[in-house]
Each structure stands twice: as structure tokens, then as C-alpha cells.
Amino acid sequence: MSKEGSHYLVVMTGLPATGKSTVSRLIARSLSDAVVLATDEIREDYFPGEVYGRLFKYSFGSSRVIYDLIGYRSRSILLEGKSVIIDGTNLRNNRDGMESVCYETGAVLVFLKTTCDEAIVRSRFEKRVVRADYMSEAKFDTYERMKQQLADDPENYLDTEQDTYVLSNHLLVVVNTGSNWMKAYNPEKAPKFLDLMLSTFTGWRLIVDDPKSENP
């Protein structure tokens, strides 16, 4: 069992409207000293919509700037002994460097993927149209486009459950925010964090999976 420290770098992944921001806030509350770095908020701060067009805001270049900044902020916060939760899609090419940040700061790297039934996702997008307090610019067509890209290239695009490196080295918790269950891979990598998840999401069903098993 690996030695588990007291602070974490929690990397969220998942399609739009599957509950990343809600789960991030709940975990931050449970950790008490955690800082949430939301990519949508930072992107809007640096590339405001009234100045920059959507294509530029979400281009590879601007995303690289955002994630470089997140890496810098994460390192500074973790060195203070606090935890960091990165609330964003966190595509695989944007996750580069997170392991080195944890190595430098002594933080435990945890991946947390949110998922949800599509009917619930559609309902959430409809509610976003009514409310004005969402920072995310994603729409249901964004969800559908990213879902197709995920299906076409799961390992390189988004899916941490297809990422053999993540599955071999880190705790990965998949959270279904519509059906109230969690699936944990490699729970021995960060058992205290998994206990925190169970205490945060009281009554949720936990499935423990071993990605190395032929019959999980």
C-alpha cells in the first residue's frame, strides 16, 4: 500500500453536465481546506466572452495557457498543505504534468470521473438555459459531440477508464450522479480519500473493481 498524505490533487474528468462542479464543491466541503480551480471560471477571467470569440477561447493554444496556469496555481496551493480540485473536462493532453506537481508537493493524485444517464443530462441542460449562474458555455450539442469523440478515441481523448496508466497507478473513482453509485479502481492507492467519498455521498452504493482482473 502506498503512503497516503493528508492533501490531494483531485482531477475531475467527464462529459458536460454529468455533475463535475457539484461533486467538486461537495468534496471541497468535506476536505475543508481544499481549493477548487474551475477551468470555466479561469477561462472567462483570462479570455472574457465579450472580447474573445468562442473558437479562440477553446482553441488548443488558449487551453494550453489555462492549464499551464492551473498547474502553477495547483503547485502553490499544494505547497501550503492544502488540497486542490481541478474542475474541468481535463482531456488527456491537458493532464500532462499533474504527476510531477504531486511529486514536488507530496500530494496524492486522485482521478474522479462523473457520469450520468443521457436523459438526466438533457434535463440539466434545459435547466441551464433558464438559470444565468452557470459559467460553462457547453450546450447539449457540445455533450453529443464530445460523446462521439469519446466513442471514436476513448484512450487518447477523455476516458480515464480506458487509460491504462491511470488504472495502474492511481485511485480512480467513477461517480454516477444520476443513479447514486460509485465505482473505485485501485482503492489501496488512497483509502482515506475513498472513505471521505463514502462519508460525503452517504448511502451511495460502492463497487470496487480491479482493472487487472479478468473477471471484474
53-63 mean pLDDT: 65
Q: Which domain holds residue 183?
A: 8-209
Q: Is residue 179 part of a domain?
A: yes
Q: Is residue 2 part of a domain?
A: no
Spatial CB neighbours of 211, under 8 Å, sequence gap ≥ 6: 167, 168, 185, 186
Q: Which residues of 24-36 are buried (b: 16+ CB within 10 A; e: fewer)?
A: beebbeebeebbb
Closest alpha carbon to 168 in 191, 145, 188, 147: 188
Alpha helices per DSSP H over 17-59: 20-31, 39-46, 54-57
Q: Is residue 60 part of a domain?
A: yes
- Per-residue pLDDT tens over the stretch 60-116: 677 788 888 999 999 999 999 999 999 987 666 666 688 889 999 999 999 999 999
Q: Is residue 97 part of a domain?
A: yes
Q: Is residue 1 part of a domain?
A: no
Residue 130 has pLDDT above 80, yes or no: no
Residue 1 has pLDDT above 50, yes or no: no
Q: Is residue 3 part of a domain?
A: no
Q: Is residue 216 part of a domain?
A: no
HSE of 9, CA atoms in CB hemisphere, 13 A: 27
Looking at residue 9, its amino acid is: L
Closest alpha carbon to 204 in 76, 26, 64: 26
Q: Is residue 215 part of a domain?
A: no
Q: How many residues does the chain have?
A: 216
At residue 165 the predicted structure's pLDDT band, cuts being 50, 70 and 90, is: confident
- Whether the full predicted model's pTM is greater than 0.75, yes or no, is yes
User: Given the DSSP bridges, would you call strands 181-185 and 171-176 parallel, antiparallel or unpaired?
Assistant: antiparallel
CATH of the domain at 21: 3.40.50.300
- The total of structural domains in the chain comes to 1
